Amino acid sequence: MQSRIMGAALTAALLISLLAGCGASGSNANGSAVLSDGVLTVGTNAEFPPFEYVGDNGEPDGFDIALINAIGEKLGVKVEVQNMEFDSLVSSIGSKADVAIAGMTVTEERKQSVDFSDPYFDAVQHVLVPAESDIATYEDLEGKAIGCQLGTTGDFIIEEIEGATDQQYNKAVDAVNDLINGRLDAVIVDSNPAGVFTANYPDKIRDLDGEDFGFETEQYAIAMPKGDKALADAINQAIKDLKADGTFDELVNKYM
């Protein structure tokens, strides 16, 4: 009898603390199971400067990491970043990660598996070539050995180039190293990372704007589980607020 009463009291106490826990995870967190535990697990691939790279302390850093931390703060949740292969980010959502931020381009194919937040950045693929190369047009890429990071939009572009050999790497920087070593004719990678990689080897590689090759503008967004409207609303509102209060521009100035 007594233990039954104690049991009921315990259950009540547990319920109250659970409810309190929900309240503590932020007023924007209404209704999203992902946010209700107070932790947002974020997948990234820290091989994409200035958006994400491994910082001096061995932890992922960069624009995207700062952005998702600022979003977490707005939502009242703790952000935990998990570094993984770019190619496994989309499938990790709902298991290893709640969401992913990785300079990830919104594509129709990815939309089959995940929802995307409002876009937060525009980019275009660039073409890196050896300094002495005469590659200048899309046709010049035909039949060439072209490197990219596996599973990226650069990879998908190379697949379409007539006769090109698509050399896929786990990290874009490894493709850049092979370009410098003469193993590749070109590397296709997003505009901002292309600028960072070129700055490291200014007399060895040239950075060509993909617009001159007919490549389309891409938009980066946060990948989220399909159908979690409460989560999407909360994240989109946070992005809006960070743009309105100047935080977003501060991060652009800091990292770009």
By the criterion CB under 6 A, which residues form the site for ligand ARG?
Answer: 45, 47-48, 52, 86, 102-105, 149, 152-153, 190, 218
128: nearest Cα among 66, 191, 48 = 191
Least separation in angstroms between residue 25's CB and ligand ARG is 27
Least separation in angstroms between residue 180's CB and ligand ARG is 19
The continuous run of DSSP H or E covering 209 comes out as: strand 205-209
Nearer to ligand ARG, 48 or 215 (CB): 48
Q: Does the CA dihedral 244-102-70-38 come out positive or negative? A: positive
The continuous run of DSSP H or E covering 25 comes out as: none
Q: Which tokens go with 65? A: 């990491």
Q: Does the CA dihedral 59-64-117-222 come out positive or negative? A: negative
Q: What share of the chain is helix, strand, coil (3-state, %, to 5)?
A: 45, 25, 30
Nearer to ligand ARG, 35 or 146 (CB): 146
Least separation in angstroms between residue 98's CB and ligand ARG is 17
> HSE on the CB side for 213, CA within 13 Å?
26
Long-range contacts of 232-236 (CB under 8 A, 24+ apart): 232/115, 232/117, 234/28, 234/29, 234/30, 234/32, 234/35, 234/75, 235/71, 235/75, 235/99, 235/117, 236/117, 236/118
Least separation in angstroms between residue 89's CB and ligand ARG is 8
Nearer to ligand ARG, 80 or 139 (CB): 80
Least separation in angstroms between residue 155's CB and ligand ARG is 7
Q: Which tokens go with 178? A: 């092979």
- State how far the Cα of 164 lies from the Cα of 146, in Å rounded to an integer: 7
**DSSP code per residue over 134-146:** ---STGGGTT-EE
DSSP-derived letter for residue 206 is E
Nearer to ligand ARG, 67 or 102 (CB): 102
Nearer to ligand ARG, 73 or 85 (CB): 85
Least separation in angstroms between residue 191's CB and ligand ARG is 10
Least separation in angstroms between residue 69's CB and ligand ARG is 16
Nearer to ligand ARG, 49 or 72 (CB): 49
Nearer to ligand ARG, 59 or 139 (CB): 59
